[in-house]
Structure 1
Amino acid sequence: MSMTLPHLTDAESFRAFRYDSSRWLPIALDIARSHGFDADAPHVFATGTNLVVGLGDTLILKIFPPLLRAQFVSERGSLTQLNGRLHLPIPEIAAEGMRDGWPYLIITRLAGTLGSEVWPHLPEDQKERLLRQIGETIAAVQRAPLGALGRIEPRWDDFMRRQMQGCRARHTRLGLAPKFLSGLDDLLRDAEQLIPMDAPPVILIGEYIPENFLLACDDGQWSLAGLFDFGDVLAGWRDYDLLGPSAFMAAGRPGRVKNLLEGFGHPKPDYALKRRLMALMLLHRASDLNSHICIEGWQEQAEDLVELQELIWPG
């Protein structure tokens, strides 16, 4: 078997390669051993974007294909910049390098239970409590200095303008109902005034969702215990990072929304804030309202985008 990582030119060929771990796991283990780490009990993570393998209980190896080098730059830069600056544990870099043009990181493995395993079963008061902690964590990350992340591409103004240009085509392709598409031009026109393009940027993780954080339970109370996956970091306007928890977790519940926004530092949401968040939700790089808004029957409860923003961010 070849111990060389291949030259892959497109995402489809990489996905096929990633799914067949027999083609790359021996190379991953060789990388781990080259740094002196134990590779006798590997665990391949089937989900995720890159090649990811657990090395026992304490380390994780992430190998990035050259076509996703930007994710390596983002992850490495974020872990370096945020190290020691948060109250919440994040992975630390134990080793890094390059193999056949594929950059990799060996990072510490955090303790805790994956948020997506716990969140659906929590009582409402604990969901509100966790959303307040998430809001506080977003604010803490954004207080950290940008450092080298200030040079990460794309720049916020370029990113937003590109998203605006492709917004209608994207949501038409994804099957957004005509009654919402009809208000898109008005919303995008408002967005140019509501979304700051040249304000001082902050670190944006982009995906504060249950799959990307760990929880721990103490005397029946669940709390945030760790944050990971920094492959899609941007530098830009702060409200962008409220979209993940708004879509995937708050579910339009007034108590959840209130705790998220108060934890973040926003007062009671006014029309302008709701309008800006609605615009940002449609402009998010992963935006797909039909798949991501976790309010049951929201398509029938709202007749246009204005009613939808009131449904998602009540109060």
Structure 2
Amino acid sequence: MPPDPSAPAGDHPLFPPFDGPRAFDQIRADLDAFRPAILAVCARHGLSTGGLSAFSHGTNVVVANDADQIIKLFPPFLRHQFEAERLSLTRFHTNIPAATPELLWQAELDGWPYLVMSRLPGRPLEEAWPAMGSTERVAALARVGEIMRAAHALPTSGLEGIDLDWDAFVERQIAGCEARHRRMGLPEHLVSQIPSYLESARPLLPRSVVPVLLTGEYTPENLLATQTDEGWRVTGMIDFADACLGPREYDLLGPCLFLAAGSAELQRALLGSYGYDLTAPGPELRRRLMALALLHRYSNLKFQLRLDGWESQVSSLSELEQRIWPL
């Protein structure tokens, strides 16, 4: 009987040792460290082991082979991300106007859950964005709005396990918001305004929502673009480890901060294609989105807000809100 490829060989474990999440983050892109586990997955499912390469960005171990397949290993402490991705992948695939990976296999190896999925063509929008002209950028944001609208219309039955439990979630985020942004390096004159700002925004926050399927990740790293005869087009979307159920506005934050920040034209392209009435979007929408940006579970405005010089140019959160969303 051939040996079980999922079993450690003697004193050679399949996974490298590490001490906690921070230590894992330092090694997750080290292909050699995870090669035994990757080879075991390949042997189990008959995958090619040629051209193996690890992705440097992300949260989990992600490796591609020369057969356009992706192997994604989730450490045990991120099992919730495995559940989110496996559930949302099948719900999104072929059901939104953008390509998404096809889920090929899901299993577990020595306590590590993993997914095998197809690799999509295209380049991350992060790489294509600098080469895109203004017309292409407007079209890209409009496309993102269309994709998001279709995603939010999908049924959520069977996805209850990834529900954010929004009302409780938002209260936890409010309680820790000031401390979080101080840790993230937000200028102190803005950090000190957070309690009063959030108090003013409380009546505008979504409450007791009918949740939709969110990715929380409509960001330029997770959107794929392809160059066509008509120029660059957004054609695909990847990485659903942060998928959850919650209020629809939560998904607007990624494209608003990373891509459309400070541009009325790009903001209107996104919101208009999603379905907002642009004749009078109103200050309430700006305030609600700014509050949600502060409360996002991964909020880090110094990294996420692509608006040159904003830290030294605004004296208040209200002013920052108007700079980001000049609607």
**TM-score category (smaller protein):** over 0.9
1:134 has 2:139 as partner: no
Q: Is the 8 A contact 1:60 1:106 kept in 2?
A: yes
Whole-Å Cα distance in 2 between the matches of residues 298 and 13 of structure 1?
Answer: 33
The match for 2:176 is: 166
Q: Is the 8 A contact 2:14 2:36 kept in 1?
A: no
The match for 1:313 is: 325
Count of aligned positions: 315
The match for 2:22 is: 12
Deviates more, 1:148-157 or 1:281-290: 148-157
Q: Deviations over 1:241-272 (max 9, x none)?
A: 11111111112111111101111111233110
TM-score, normalization: structure 2? 0.91
1:122 has 2:132 as partner: yes
The match for 1:210 is: 220
Q: Deviations over 1:61-105 (max 9, x none)?
A: 001010110110000010122223112110011111110000010
Q: Give the direction of change, closer, same or farther, for the CA distance of 1:224–1:57 in structure 2 (3 Å limit).
A: farther
The equivalent position to 1:277 in structure 2, one of 278, 289, 294, is 289
The equivalent position to 1:303 in structure 2, one of 300, 310, 315, is 315
1:49 has 2:59 as partner: yes
Whole-Å Cα distance in 1 between the matches of residues 85 and 35 of structure 2?
Answer: 21
Q: Give the direction of change, closer, same or farther, for the CA distance of 1:15–1:305 in structure 2 (3 Å limit).
A: closer
> What amino acid is the match of 2:312?
E
The match for 2:211 is: 201
Whole-Å Cα distance in 1 between the matches of residues 191 and 55 of structure 2?
Answer: 38
1:235 has 2:255 as partner: no
> What amino acid is the match of 1:301?
Q
Whole-Å Cα distance in 2 between the matches of residues 280 and 132 of structure 1?
Answer: 21
Runs (5+) with no aligned partner, structure 1: none
Deviates more, 1:178-187 or 1:166-175: 178-187
Deviation at 1:7, TM superposition (A): 6.7
> What amino acid is the match of 1:284?
H
Secondary structure, aligned partner of 1:294: coil
1:264 has 2:249 as partner: no
The equivalent position to 1:288 in structure 2, one of 300, 311, 314, is 300
Deviation at 1:9, TM superposition (A): 5.7
1:38 has 2:79 as partner: no
Deviation at 1:221, TM superposition (A): 1.7
Q: Is the 8 A contact 2:215 2:251 kept in 1?
A: yes
Deviation at 1:208, TM superposition (A): 0.8
Whole-Å Cα distance in 1 between the matches of residues 32 and 137 of structure 2?
Answer: 40
Q: Is the 8 A contact 1:156 1:234 kept in 2?
A: no
* RMSD over aligned Cα atoms: 1.7
> What amino acid is the match of 1:163?
Q
Whole-Å Cα distance in 2 between the matches of residues 2 and 153 of structure 1?
Answer: 39
Secondary structure, aligned partner of 1:225: strand
Map 1:35-184 → 2, pairs under 5 A? 35-184=45-194
Whole-Å Cα distance in 2 between the matches of residues 128 and 286 of structure 1?
Answer: 26
Whole-Å Cα distance in 2 between the matches of residues 176 and 13 of structure 1?
Answer: 25
Deviates more, 1:296-305 or 1:265-274: 296-305
Whole-Å Cα distance in 1 between the matches of residues 26 and 293 of structure 2?
Answer: 31
Whole-Å Cα distance in 2 between the matches of residues 191 and 9 of structure 1?
Answer: 40
> What amino acid is the match of 2:322?
E
TM-score, normalization: structure 1? 0.94
Q: Is the 8 A contact 2:50 2:66 kept in 1?
A: yes
Whole-Å Cα distance in 2 between the matches of residues 189 and 58 of structure 1?
Answer: 49
Deviates more, 1:139-148 or 1:5-14: 5-14
Secondary structure, aligned partner of 1:95: strand
> What amino acid is the match of 1:102?
W
Share of identical aligned residues, percent? Answer: 38
1:21 has 2:24 as partner: no
Q: Is the 8 A contact 1:195 1:237 kept in 2?
A: no
Whole-Å Cα distance in 2 between the matches of residues 12 and 253 of structure 1?
Answer: 36
Runs of 4+, deviation exceeding 3 Å: 6-9
1:223 has 2:249 as partner: no
Deviation at 1:115, TM superposition (A): 1.1
Deviates more, 1:152-161 or 1:203-212: 152-161
Whole-Å Cα distance in 1 between the matches of residues 245 and 63 of structure 2?
Answer: 29
The match for 2:254 is: 244
Runs (5+) with no aligned partner, structure 2: 1-10
Deviation at 1:29, TM superposition (A): 1.8
Q: Give the direction of change, closer, same or farther, for the CA distance of 1:167–1:42 in structure 2 (3 Å limit).
A: same
